[in-house]
Amino acid sequence: MLSNLSRTLVYGAFFFLPFTFIRVVSNLTVSDILIFLAFITLAVSKRGRTFLSEGVLLKNEFILPLIIFSIGFFLSVENSHQPLESITAFAQIVFIFLIAYPVLRETVTDEKQVDKIALMLIIPGAIISVLMITISIIGVNLGIDLLAYEGWRGRLSYGGMEPNIPGRIILQNIPLVAFFAITSKRTLIKSVSIILIVVQLTAILLTSSRSNFLTFILGALLFLYFSIKFGKKIKLQYVMYAALLGLVVITIFYSMNDEFFLSAFDRYKTILDAKRSASSMERLRVIDQGFTFINKNPFIGLGLGNSYLYTKVNLHNPILLTWLENGIFGTIGFTGLYLVLLIQGYKTSRNRFYGNYIIVALTIIMIMMVFGDMFMANSYKRVLWLPALLFFAYTKNYVSARSTESQHAQEY
């Protein structure tokens, strides 16, 4: 009974995951609280002792890189000008890998549960996308801490976040929607899925985030390549139908307000020419500053979450950022967290996704998350890590279940 309650809490956590501006206490969101409650219910269940000893620590694949990162954190925290901010940031990382991941590993064990979580992500993502596009068309400003486009030079955003973060929150839903579009036999579901993809892509486009644009291209190429490798045939008529339907939806949005599309395209033109973008030049300057501080002391960092006090703007790369803030141990540990995911993704691809197409979608989400993070600061955001950890938890459980079934078959 408690395990079922934990699973229900996880569903709720993923539904509220995109609503980062709904905070309960301090920086804790509704999603965080639900994940924590799921952890508590698992801890007091019949398997509680096993869950705490094995799931959280002994069999946690992220524990070694997390320990190495923690060494870097504790060595650097003494240098921090704002120790409380550093400790809060560290607590978020601990929450992701010692609370959220074990909960996912324990509760997400079959494809039906993944399908439900996918819906919990898609529904709010679609709602947010529609609202973001609507306010851009009619010019309504609901406030920077809720849903607003003002304050980001016309770029869409919500929750007071930089536009690239909302774009990535929405982008990670698209492989899941594409999964439903391709695997469903119902024309209605296919049509609704295609419309949802177009609407969400339009919202992503209007965030004017170049990193999101590149991440989408990577995701699209991976989806095509992985589908071919999986053996899934994509019929030409469905591609034509999707393209036509998408063109109609975008034409409607464009006719209502073309200004936002034109400004977004102007920003995307700077991808190949950094000198045309003030923000790109600023990021290059900050990277140069970061290396200057790293060279002065490559072993001990400036304190987690505090480097902006030196560089004025956060360094937009987690590998360099953790080196700058937590020294050599910090960057080795944090890089290790990404490597654990990527190695599992490689194994999954090599094994043709174990014959499970939802794993294809989850693998793409994970790779897009890692790639997109390379252009971001503060990459310990739960809203972006949890869907990637869903890939890892479900894949591990799926492989374990198949291995158990194979052993039973051999015994009989």
Between 36 and 238, name the one with better pLDDT.
36
Put simply, whether the predicted model's pTM sits higher than 0.95 gets the answer: no
Query: Nearest-5° angle of CA 110, CA 114, CA 118?
Result: 170
Contact 125, 173 (CB under 8 A): yes
**What's the gap between Cα 200 and its chain centre?**
15
pLDDT at 141: 56
Residue 182, C-beta contacts closer than 8 angstroms, at least 6 positions apart:
227, 232, 234, 238, 357
Q: How confident is the model at residue 235 (pLDDT cuts 50, 70, 90)?
A: low
Give me the residues paired with residue 148 across strands.
Answer: 157
Q: How confident is the model at residue 144 (pLDDT cuts 50, 70, 90)?
A: very low
DSSP 8-state secondary structure symbol assigned to residue 88: H
Residue 40 to residues 55, 99, 113: CA-CA distances in angstroms?
Answer: 13, 9, 20
Q: To the nearest whole percent, how much of the chain has pLDDT over 90?
A: 33
Looking at residue 17, its amino acid is L
Quote the CA–CA distance of 23 and 44 in Å, as a whole number. 26
Per-chain mean pLDDT for the chain: 83
Residues in the chain: 412
Q: Tokens 């892509």 sit at which residue?
A: 201
